[in-house]
Homo-oligomer: A and B are copies of this chain.
């Protein structure tokens, strides 16, 4: 089966997967205050203007701007006090010419007034009149009706990921419920005769399952809901086929993190190949580490065969699974945190292959250096000791010591 496939570049591989996917975000309604980092499944527009009444932005007096023209410390404008607008209440007074009304920051500007003067630029006289020492322009120190949000204004498009201020903005308009994309379910199937669950003491020749939980955490970060309840199956075809069919039925995406031996890899390919049409689309990607990757679509659901070693699995997850989760959310993968750094030593690569090198950041004086962590990619602690990955592009045969690189932080 492997012979039918040629190794593709990451971009070619992604395009081939993408063209066989018609993901649809599945909407659900949740409380806006619980919607941080969730992705909108429907566009939102304003149910009403904001603010709904003209508001003072200062503590002071609502006035007619024209009444203050030319006012100065030596020649103040004299205005007659005509009441006060209490906070949280409607203005009960109508402001006439030559009048001033006490207003508080955020309070309503009464009808008849078109500006506010700051209390600092005034003095009260006898309790009946005030002196104004500076002119204000029309609209000064006032937020107009609809200045924050206009009527029926479009607020957010489909696919927008909600940030803290967005939640505040929606609640300001009384939008206490939002329609968001359900978190795509990501089934993670680990297999291999040598793999035991973390709570078990491995026997001779056995190791604990590492990849499932690393991948589950990555899936959660990407906005998905990991499903891990498939037992680690012994390497027998039928058991794996049954688990795979269950996973495909229950999840939106299926990720195999296979045992590392060639027999298990071959079986994974066989299981994915039999899981639904069109089946395997990519078998082998020009990425190091991560070449023996399988990308498939089975009955409309993306299925990934990730390499068994931890570094490869993480690289391939970020390259293909995280963007696929984003497709099911109707958005793009959340932007990575990146930082520039100077490469601490030469790193060789091959043209035609995209390399990902784990690096550790080190501060040397005012400079940040990226020191490659040259552990084998079979070692989980190679990733634990690293702060991020440096990409060596497809068309490069390596990077030089002292070169400025961009580190994709974990």
Chain A residues proximal to chain B, CB less than 8 Å: 32-33, 36, 50-53, 55, 57, 59, 85-91, 104-108, 119, 143, 147-149, 155, 163-169, 171-174, 176, 192-195, 198-199, 201-211, 213-218, 220-221, 235, 259-264, 308, 310, 314, 335, 337, 375-376, 378-384, 409-410
Contact = CB atoms under 8 A, between A and B. Distances in A.
Number of identical monomers bound together in the oligomeric complex: 2
Nearest to A207: B51
A116 to B, nearest CB: 12
Nearest to A387: B163
A387 to B, nearest CB: 9
Contacts of A51: 207
A217 B164 contact: yes
Nearest to A216: B33
Contacts of A166: 384
B163 A194 contact: no
A217 B164 CA distance: 5
A314 B210 contact: no
Contact of A169 (B107, B204, B216, B381): B381
A107 B194 contact: yes
A142 to B, nearest CB: 10
Contacts of A165: 214, 310, 314, 380, 383-384, 410
A315 to B, nearest CB: 11
Contacts of A215: 164
A320 to B, nearest CB: 16
A90 B143 contact: no
Nearest to A337: B337
Contact of A172 (B119, B167, B210, B217): B210
B204 A108 contact: yes
A126 B315 CA distance: 41
Given A106-B259, A148-B381, 8 more contacts: A33-B198, A33-B213, A104-B262, A107-B261, A148-B379, A155-B384, A168-B380, A174-B198
B335 A164 contact: no
A207 B106 contact: yes
Query: Which 3 pairs, one residue from A and one from B, show the smallest C-beta to C-beta distance?
Result: A168-B214, A104-B261, A90-B204
Nearest to A209: B171
Nearest to A57: B378
A384 B169 contact: yes
A211 B107 CA distance: 17
A341 to B, nearest CB: 14
Contacts of A203: 88, 90
Given A88-B194, A203-B90, A218 B335 contact: no
Given A171-B213, A261-B59, A108 B205 contact: yes
A292 B262 CA distance: 66
